[in-house]
Amino acid sequence: MTPTPTSITTEARPGFAGKEEANQKNQLNKCIYVAGHRGLVGSAIVRALRKRDYSNILTRTHAELDLKDQAAVRAFFAEHQPEEVYLAAAKVGGIHANNTYPAEFIYDNLMVQSNVIHEAWRAGVRKLLFLGSSCIYPRMAEQPIREEYLMNGALEPTNEPYAIAKIAGIKMCESYNRQYGTDFRSVMPTNLYGPGDNYHPENSHVIPALIRRFHEAKIAGAEKVVIWGTGKPRREFLHVDDMADACVHVMNLDNATYAAHTSPMLSHINVGTGEDVTIREVAEMIKNAVGFKGEIEYDTSKPDGTPRKLMNTAKLTALGWRPSKSLGDGLKETYGHFVAEYG
């Protein structure tokens, strides 16, 4: 008697489990290009992919591939044909760097992302994830910041060129999706910190700048550390390994799930913790993590930047992702990495 379809089980179909295993191996062996793999976010994405046993991760240093060179980028994609791209390459910096080099911040970022996105499309890349920044939102945006607040007000002047470039990247991904049917996604992280950060004394972001300043003050036996601004602005901070985990999570969402939580012209997703602290509070936390015993002084003649930036992360939470590291634990861990690298 011929069995009915309902009586057929996995065990009764030789090779079924083998096909499942082969499909899994194929997924883990797909070619994934991480642009900007030496940066804070890019290096964390590579760690996250390796942790998940992806074995075919493609990277290039700036010396090997200048992403501002369209012909070179085109040749690279034509030769290697990656299936997925994480676009983490960018020129980044703090208030001082953004104020000092505005032309570089807008030009470099526009050129890099335009070349990578366009040439990924030309080469038939299946999926791309573009990484932006919370500075895309209006300076005085209602808090916590929802994705739909994009382009509803004036930007923070100190980083407007960088923000304009990142907004253009989001809209470029959306435009290619609408016209060409690509699957190019965007995530907007809050302020990031962690292993691989830039600790330059003038061009770095707030946490690495403060870690270095407190560490040097401790070594020198200084009586105080001077911090720009009033210390009153509130900021949200996310460990970069959590950010990388969120990136892989969003990239691996099926099309229907991603589409159900976004729209064709509002497709980016916020990534953060949903909690913020004052600069004074984070300075005290870093002071304690470093073990500096002196005082903290605030130079109120220097700019504060945006008064508050807290991300609404309801979309990402609904998509099944939450951060795992607390700020206190993350800062202690990050200082350990700093000491190991810089002494």
Name the catalytic one among 162, 176, 258, 335: 162
**26, 175, 267 from 85: Cα distances, Å:** 17, 17, 17
Active site residue 180: no
Distance CA 176, CA 164 (A): 18
Q: Rounded to an integer, what distance in angstroms lies between the CA atom of residue 257 and that of residue 315? A: 11
The whole-angstrom separation of Cα 105 and Cα 113 is 12
3-state SS, 14-83, equals CCHHHHHHHHHHHHHCCCEEEECCCCHHHHHHHHHHHHCCCCCEECCCCCCCCCCCHHHHHHHHHHHCCC
Q: How many other CB atoms are there within 10 angstroms of residue 10's CB atom? A: 8
| H/E stretch holding 184 | strand 183-189
Distance of CA 330 to the CA centre of its chain: 16
Among candidates 250, 118, 240, 115, which has minimal Cα distance to 185? 250
Would you please indicate which residues are annotated as catalytic (active-site) residues? 162
